[in-house]
Chains A and B, each alone.
Chain A
Amino acid sequence: MNEERNEGGVLNDLDFQQKLHRRAFLRYTGIAVAASTVITLDACKKDDDGVNFGSDDIAILNYAYALEQLEAAFYTQVISTPYSGISDAEKSLLTDVRDHEIAHREFFKAALGSNAIQALEVDFSSIDFTSRASVLGTAKTFEDLGVAAYNGAGQYIASANYLLLAGKIVSVEARHAAYIRDLLSNGSFADSSVVDSNGLEKSMKPRDVISAASPFIKTKLNAGSLPA
């Protein structure tokens, strides 16, 4: 996963905006040059705060794009270095899952256009790709997290069209999650760790999802513009 900057993307816009902001701020305060250096460091730390998701619906779409990047990178690795003892059926269906996640990733990239965040660098150092338990255990974490993330983000989407698109994807993630769970333990497709006593999936707020995903993402993310 190479870190590449999306031309005209949010990052570049943000850099530009922050430079503008900094100048305006300095003009407004009219502080001496010596003092302004200190204030600049203090007031404009955002440069180092990581990838910014943007605002409103763009932020939610970028949030989904980040998660899909993570999943696609993971399954790409799973298929290129299959775990020992992988069955033909498992390899076939996990290849499907990889293709679905790549399709989701590329869809968000295309839909976001110049508003898309950069390609993220992942950190899979905690995963043993030769081990079925490690791979499927991680897959379960990612799929459950993806479902909880989409469900929890729906309420922050203003556009009915985007809401429907998220809905089209989340049920496929749920199908994946159930499949992976059944591979690990048949019958655990919708157990009480993911479904509450009302029969409802336990959804998660964006910042909690980012916290859970961050150990697997090397690129620094700034969840500040996402709903708490």
Chain B
Amino acid sequence: MKVSEIISAIGEQDPEIYERLSSRRRAMSGFVGFGKKLALTSVPFFLGSVLQKAYGQSTGTLVVDTLNFALTLEYLEYRFYNTALGSSGLIPSGPANAAITTIRDHELAHVNFLKTAITAAGGTPVSEPTFDLTGGNGSGNGPFKDAFSNYQVFLAVAQTLEDTGVRAYKGQAGNLISNDTVLTAALNIHSVEARHASHIRQMRKANGFDANIKPWITGKDTEGVAGVDASYAGEENTTQADVSIINIGGQTISASAASEAFDEPLTKEQILLIVDPFLA
């Protein structure tokens, strides 16, 4: 999806997007002046800053915008699990199938809940995008093309989606601080995604796909999943609010434990970059 397409898509929900952009002289001049010079990979970062300037202090819009962002991620998760459950022979029957069904049902519940919340907040829920679940940007031939025929690949992608989802919600909490009800709901989704992540990681271990994987994230370890470094970048942080966690208070706390003890957020721009290959 190109930047112009994203803005156009937002325009369908927010007809004033062009006015917002043009009325912010700095945002617009940045957009026109530097657009051509941007490397492709930095576009989502740039787009995020343009949109942030365009939307400015409009809190209601920020809440709706944030919920629509979350909804898009939930659509992706739901579609991924639902496709997997519909792929015969992929997920073993019994506990594995039951667990993935539980997770799929939660993601669908999140989709429906967010749609209701967006409408209640005066917004319009975005439609489900056309996904390329292989991560191939529409080619259908991306790095995860075996996810629905190979159980090991499926669980690897599931792990990454859940860990990334946790980081995405965490990064948006501050944008919802003005609305107690919405913030609490988002937090209540955030921890459920973390429970999913924990279980998927245990499934990978139980199947012998990764002997050393833990339910929590150690450093920025992708646990052998290729091409997902961006989903784990920054998780190695061991300093919180300027306090070093390693051996804090005279206790024996390793760098691994210090990084595991705190999950780190990702910004919307970072998440969009990660999600982009899944958009057809």
Contacts of A106 in B (CB 8 A): 245, 248-249, 251, 253
Given the interface pairs A160-B174, A168-B265, A198-B113, the reply to whether A190 lies near B196 with Cβ below 8 Å is yes
Whole-angstrom distance between the alpha carbons of A168 and B243 in the complex?
14
Is there contact, CB below 8 Å, between B249 and A109?
yes
Whole-angstrom distance between the alpha carbons of A179 and B170 in the complex?
21
Contacts of A102 in B (CB 8 A): 251, 253
Which of B106, B173, B214, B251 interacts with A163 by CB under 8 Å?
A: B173
Please report which residues of chain B, range 234-257, place their CB below 8 angstroms from some CB of chain A when the two chains form the complex.
240-241, 243, 245, 248-249, 251-254, 257
Please report which residues of chain A, range 171-220, place their CB below 8 angstroms from some CB of chain B when the two chains form the complex.
171-179, 182, 186-187, 189-191, 194-195, 197-203
Contacts of B265 in A (CB 8 A): 164, 167-168
Which of B187, B253, B258 interacts with A154 by CB under 8 Å?
A: B187
Contacts of A203 in B (CB 8 A): 184, 187-188
Q: Is A161 close to B, CB under 8 A?
A: yes
Contacts of B109 in A (CB 8 A): 197-200
Contacts of B9 in A (CB 8 A): none
Is there contact, CB below 8 Å, between A190 and B102?
yes
Is there contact, CB below 8 Å, between B241 and A161?
yes
Q: From B16-24, B54-62, B133-141, B197-205, give the one contacting chain A.
A: B197-205
Which residue among A164, A169, A189, A194 has the maximum number of chain B CB atoms within 10 Å of its CB?
Answer: A189
Which residue among B105, B112, B188 has the maximum number of chain A CB atoms within 10 Å of its CB?
Answer: B188
Given the interface pairs A163-B174, A179-B215, the reply to whether A172 lies near B263 with Cβ below 8 Å is yes
Is there contact, CB below 8 Å, between A200 and B113?
yes
- Closest A residue to B245 using CB positions: A103
Min CB–CB distance A109 → chain B (angstroms): 6
Q: Is A99 close to B, CB under 8 A?
A: yes
Q: Is B110 close to A, CB under 8 A?
A: yes
Contacts of B181 in A (CB 8 A): 155
- Closest A residue to B246 using CB positions: A103
Is there contact, CB below 8 Å, between B95 and A186?
yes
Min CB–CB distance A208 → chain B (angstroms): 14
Given the interface pairs A110-B249, A172-B260, A174-B191, the reply to whether A199 lies near B240 with Cβ below 8 Å is no
Q: Is B98 close to A, CB under 8 A?
A: yes
Contacts of B105 in A (CB 8 A): 199
Min CB–CB distance B124 → chain A (angstroms): 20
Whole-angstrom distance between the alpha carbons of A163 and B194 in the complex?
17
Q: Is A100 close to B, CB under 8 A?
A: yes
Min CB–CB distance A150 → chain B (angstroms): 8
Which residue among B108, B112, B198, B248 has the maximum number of chain A CB atoms within 10 Å of its CB?
Answer: B198
Q: Chain B, 262-274, contact with A by CB distance < 8 Å: what is the 0/1 string? A: 1111000000000
Whole-angstrom distance between the alpha carbons of A173 and B257 in the complex?
13
Which of B108, B191, B215, B248 interacts with A170 by CB under 8 Å?
A: B191
Whole-angstrom distance between the alpha carbons of A103 and B249 in the complex?
9
Give the contact-size bracket for chain B.
35 or more
- Closest B residue to A152 using CB positions: B184
Which of A152, A175, A187, A201 interacts with B215 by CB under 8 Å?
A: A175
Q: Is B185 close to A, CB under 8 A?
A: yes
Q: Is B190 close to A, CB under 8 A?
A: yes
Is there contact, CB below 8 Å, between B215 and A93?
yes
Is there contact, CB below 8 Å, between B191 and A110?
no
Q: Is B216 close to A, CB under 8 A?
A: yes
Min CB–CB distance A125 → chain B (angstroms): 25
Min CB–CB distance A191 → chain B (angstroms): 8
Q: Is B99 close to A, CB under 8 A?
A: yes
Given the interface pairs A190-B102, A199-B105, the reply to whether A155 lies near B180 with Cβ below 8 Å is yes
- Closest B residue to A106 using CB positions: B249
Which residue among A167, A168, A203 has the maximum number of chain B CB atoms within 10 Å of its CB?
Answer: A167
Is there contact, CB below 8 Å, between A169 and B262?
yes
Contacts of A107 in B (CB 8 A): 240-241, 243, 245, 248
Contacts of B28 in A (CB 8 A): none
Q: Chain A, 59-73, contact with B by CB distance < 8 Å: what is the 0/1 string? A: 000000000000000
- List 6 other contacts, CB 8 Å, given A103-B251, A111-B243, A165-B241: A96-B216, A106-B248, A154-B187, A178-B215, A179-B198, A190-B196
For the complex of A and B, 3 pairs with smallest distance between CB atoms: A199-B109, A178-B198, A174-B194
List 15 A–B pairs whose Cβ atoms lie within 8 Å, in order of A's numbering: A99-B260, A107-B241, A110-B248, A154-B173, A171-B263, A175-B194, A177-B198, A189-B198, A190-B103, A197-B109, A198-B113, A199-B113, A200-B113, A200-B192, A201-B191
